Amino acid sequence: MPNSNKLVAIVGMCGSGKSVLADALAAEGYGYLRFGQIVLDEVKKRGVPPTEALEREIREDFREKLGMGAMAILNIPKFDELLQAGNVVGDGLYSWDEYKILKEKYGENFFVVAVYAPPQIRYERLEKRFSDASDTALRNRGFSREAATARDMAEIENIAKGGPIAMADYTILNIGTMAEYQEQIKKFIEWIKNK
């Protein structure tokens, strides 16, 4: 990498609080890229409503063509461009292969932060979001408990999402109030500034 700007990738299960952390880093001047935007772009290209089943089909199609590191491979040109201007946050690292590809490419300038919340807490959050039609960007979508559970199983079993969580450089436990989470985020931001 031609400069020392940092790529901070956020990993966590659906509903853990990744987007809140990404927004906080963007407010600190980080460039922003959502790993899964490529999937949503494909959904929009097809002109059909997004569903968990369709998104999974598209993700799995990308991975069939490019391997389990597909989202990293497809996003590297975008990361490289953003890194020319400054630090970057990548929202939603998925697989172990993606982790390995990005670690190899960006080395010491690549950091992973995991946001963890137990399934019960995440499912309650996702169910509350489920009825909110205002998220037209599909960034903070809700899911029924059944859909969220199915997504969790698919991410753990099919794409080895547990690996990046286990290997994270920093982990935030998001089990309390939003104010408590914001305090945890501030601690992380101070930590990453010193790296």
Is 27 among the domain residues? yes
SS (H, E, C) the chain: CCCCCCEEEEECCCCCCHHHHHHHHHHCCCEEEECCHHHHHHHHHHCCCCCHHHHHHHHHHHHHHHCCCHHHHHHHHHHHHHHCCCCEEEECCCCHHHHHHHHHHHHHHEEEEEEECCHHHHHHHHHHHHCCCCCCCCCCCCCCHHHHHHHHHHHHHHHCCHHHHHCCCEEEECCCCHHHHHHHHHHHHHHHHCC
Is 1 among the domain residues? no
Domain that holds residue 97: 7-193
pLDDT tens digits, 158-191 = 778 999 999 999 999 999 999 999 999 999 999 9
* pLDDT band with cut points at 50, 70 and 90 for residue 132: low
* pLDDT band with cut points at 50, 70 and 90 for residue 29: very high
Is 87 among the domain residues? yes
Is 132 among the domain residues? yes
pTM for the full model? 0.86
pLDDT tens digits, 101-119 = 999 999 999 999 999 999 9
Contact status, residue 32 vs residue 88, Cβ threshold 8 Å: yes
Count of other CB atoms within 10 angstroms of residue 22? 23
Is 131 among the domain residues? yes
Is 2 among the domain residues? no
pLDDT tops 70 at residue 18: yes
pLDDT tops 80 at residue 139: no
Backbone angles phi, psi at 93, to 5 degrees: -60, 135
Q: Could you give the CA distance from residue 55 to residue 63 in angstroms, rounded to a whole number?
A: 12
Q: How many independent structural domains does the chain possess? A: 1
Is 126 among the domain residues? yes
The CATH number given to whatever domain includes residue 34 is 3.40.50.300
Q: Find where tokens 């990005």 sit.
A: 102
